[in-house]
Structure 1
Amino acid sequence: MCNHGKAAWRSNGRGGAVNIKQVRYVCAIMDLGSFSAAAAREGVSVQAVSKAMSELESSLGEPLFERRSAGVSPTPLGRAFAVRARRVLDEWEALERFASAPAAVASSPFRMGFCCPAYPGVDRLVRLISTVTGKVLGRRVDVELLECAEGLDALRAGRVDGLITVGTLEADDVACTPLGTVSSDVLVPLDHPLAAKGEVTLDELAGYPVLYPCNFDHYCHAVVDEYLKRGLRSEVVRFSVGDAVPEPVADERCYSFIFVGNITGAPEGFVIRPLVRGDALSVPICLSTLRGPGGLDHVSFRRALSRLSLFA
C-alpha cells in the first residue's frame, strides 16, 4: 500500500519541488568535495551552488553537507540523498540526450582520441575511460591512443569528436577544458639503482637518462620539459616510439615519467616510484574539441570522467 502521507520529494515553503539543478549540484559536490569545484564543473558561480543547496536543505529541514574550511563532507542524509540523486541524474541526462537527437544517440558513438604514449598497461586506462564514460553518457564511447599531431589532424577532419591530452593543447581553432590534474611518477627497471627506494628526488634522478618520445612531443612538453624547468639535470634521450630501442634503454639505465600508475600499473620487469613531495609536479589533463556549435558537450563529458576518480 502506498504511503501518500509523506512525499518522496518534499516541497519547499514556496510550493516548489526539488529540481534537477539541485540534484545535479549535489552529485557534483559529492564527486569533488567542495562547492567551488562543483561550481567549476557545472559552469556556474559558487554563489549559485550555495544558494541552490541552502534552498534544498531548507525544504528538507536538515543539512546535506557539513561546511568546513577545507571543504564539505556529507551528512547521513546527504549520503542517502546522493545515492538516489545519482540514479535520477543518470536517467535525466540520458533522457535529455535522447530527446535532443534520438537517432544519433541510438546509433552514433563518441569517438575520442587519447594523446599519450602507449605505456604498457595504458590500454587498461583506455578501456576504463570508454566503459565508465559510456555508461554515464548512455552512449558508446570509442577511445583510441593517438600521437598529438595525429589526434589534432583527426579532430579537424572530423574523425574524432574530442581529444584527451596530458597538458593544455593550444590551438586557435580548439577549445581546451581542464578536467583536473594527476600526479606524475617515475618508471624504472627492477634492477635500476633507484628501484629499491620508496621515493625518489630530482637530485637522485640527475645521474640517469630520461626518455623523451619525440612523436609524443606534446606529452613531453607537459611533463619532461616542465621537470627540466624545475631543475631536473638528467640527460635527455630522444627517440620515437616504434623505433629501435635506444642504447641507454637497452642498458636499463633510463627512466621515464608516467602518470596514473595506480591504474596502468608497472609493466613486467619495472616498478613505479613516486617523487618526494615538493619535487613532484601535478600534470593537467584536458578535454579538447573544435570551437563552434555542435561540438562535444564539455560539461557532460567532464562530469562523466569525474566518475573515474582519477583526477584531483
Structure 2
Amino acid sequence: MDEVELRQLRCLVAIVDEGTFTDAAIALGVSQAAVSRTLAGLERALGVRLLRRTSREVTPTATGLRVVAQARRVLADVAALVQEATSGHTRLRIGYAWSAVGRHTVAFQRRWTAAHPGIDLHLVRVNTASAGLGEGACDLAVVRRPLEDRRFDTAIVGLERRLCALAADDPLARRRSVRLADLTGRILLVDRRTGTTTPELWPPDTRPAVEETHDVDDWLTVI
C-alpha cells in the first residue's frame, strides 16, 4: 500500500466541502487536473473508491464519508501540533472523570495562570478509571479511587467530604447532612469505573439497591 499524504487528505476534504473539483482547485490554489491526480492517488493508496462523480455533483461513497471524517480529525490534530510547536507555549493537560479538583478548581486555574503564564492549562474530562491517563489523553490526572495500573505513581493531594445528590423535592434534600443509614432502602446510583461510593459502605443487611450509570451526566439525569 502506498503512503497516504496530508496533501491528499486536504484535497479530499476540499472536494467534499467545495462540492466540485473546480471549486476545490480554486480553494487549494492548484489546477483541476492536480486535484484529480491527487484524489486518484489517495484512492489508489487506500484501495477504495471515495467519491462518486457526475456531471452535476460529487458525493462521497459510504467509505468516503468515514474517510473524510477521519481526515478532518487528522488535519485538525496536525494543525494543533503545528500550533503547539510554533507558539512558544507549552501545555499541561490534567484529566478528570468528574468535578476536576472540586471547589478548588477555579482558584487553582487562576493561581496556575498567574504562576505559569507560559504554560497553558487544559482540564480534560475522560470517564475512565485513570481519567484519561491510561488512554494518553492527559499528562496527569485527578482520580478519587486507587489506580491499579502500575505504570503510574500516585500521591494524595487532598481530602473531600462525601456528597449525596438527591432530587430537589426529596425530603432529605432539606437537610444539611445525611447519614448512610438514612439511605437504607433507597436506590443507589453508582459509576463503578470512577465513583467512590459503593454498597460495601453499608452493613450487609442494610445495603441499598444499586443501579449502575455510565458517567456523571447519566448519573445526574437519572437522579
TM-score normalised by L of structure 2: 0.49
TM-score normalised by L of structure 1: 0.36
Structure 1 or 2: more strand by fraction: 1
Q: Which has the higher contact order (CA 8 A, sep 6+)?
A: 1
